[in-house]
Amino acid sequence: MSTSESLRAVVAVPLSEEHCRLIERLEPRLELVRDASLVRPMRGPADWSGDPAHERTPAQQQAFDDLVDSADALFGIPDVDPAALARTVAVNRRLRWVMTTAAGGGGQVKAAGLAPEALDRIVFTTSAGVHGGPLAEFAVFGVLAGAKDLPRLAQQQADRQWTDRWEMRQIDEMTVLVVGLGGIGAECARRFHALGAQVWGTTRSGAPVEGVDRLIPLDELVSAVAEVDAIVVTLPGTDQTHHLIGAEVLSAVKPGVILASVGRGAVIDEEVLLDALDDGRVSFAALDVFETEPLPTDSPLWRHPRVLVSPHTAALNRKEEERIARRFAENATRLLDGEPLRAVVDTVEFY
């Protein structure tokens, strides 16, 4: 697009007026259309899907659909519902860009089952990288919790038991393997490097990443895990990454390895992980994501003494909405100026 053109963008998920105005200030050429009365109210910070108990009247639903169908671009998948995305893509030929509010929004696009023509016509982007800092902090927290044996400390405190001292591990004496050096993985690498760890990272491109001491081709993952003290998983969920951390990898790890997971739950085979926890191959696992969410109440992960369960909340931060709004404005500027957009979804592997 030329710099003289404008872009009609419709806010298809809850977004505060404050952040709408921020987007307009950052990119004045953007016509940002919103109607707060038509979107589901947020129940908490960055609750993009809104309250599921909130129902539109038939007239409100028609008004919402009409609004969405008038867009050149969408801030968010309508109601964070792949079926709603498929509906508007089918009727709105002017739609050319959709930004998902989720970093892993490629999975939502895949679930919409869009035709190849639509995938060619519309650019899909995600908020990938926006959540890198908070998720990297959780990864550091998880590895530290394993290194300092947080479960033992918590149990002894609960029992008011003062035992003999025991040795704790130090991060600056550890080798940490970051599986996936995208936006989140790069932030993890930077933080572990700053703490003095030897940092390895898997790569497909072979491009150097700040703070990474050794790049590991993915086809060498099995041999690499035998040499590291901690594994941090940041990969998106795709057909290619499904159960990548499974029997072959977890049978090869150095005994006592610590695992932290902040990517997508399907990357780890949870049944195999439980076996590895039980026999000591994995000494501790800090998990923010799971194969099935919410984590079923009968999952053994809930009660395993060496597992820390986080309900996919590590990325949630009061600044998340602002960061995503800024990303949308930045990509709107890029689109209007004919420049490549950031965090474009690969519509073959959907990440």
Structure tokens at 247: 């029997």
User: Annotated catalytic residue: which of 173, 220, 293, 349?
Assistant: 293
User: Annotated catalytic residue: which of 152, 190, 312, 342?
Assistant: 312
Find out whether 128 and 102 touch, Cβ atoms under 8 Å: no
Per-residue pLDDT of the chain (351 residues; tens, 9 = 90+): 544 478 999 999 999 999 999 999 999 999 999 999 999 999 999 999 999 999 999 999 999 999 999 999 999 999 999 999 999 999 999 999 999 999 889 999 999 999 999 999 999 999 988 999 999 999 999 999 999 999 999 999 999 999 999 999 999 999 999 999 988 999 999 999 999 999 999 988 888 999 999 999 999 999 999 999 999 999 988 889 999 999 999 999 999 999 999 999 999 999 999 999 999 999 999 999 999 999 999 999 999 999 999 999 999 888 999 999 999 999 999 999 999 999 999 999 898
Structure tokens at 156: 């002894």
Burial of 212 (0-12, 13-18, 19+ CB in 10 A): buried
264 belongs to the catalytic site: yes
User: Annotated catalytic residue: which of 264, 281, 306, 327?
Assistant: 264
Find out whether 31 and 7 touch, Cβ atoms under 8 Å: yes
293 belongs to the catalytic site: yes
Tokens 């990898």 found at: 249
What does pTM read for this prediction?
Answer: 0.87
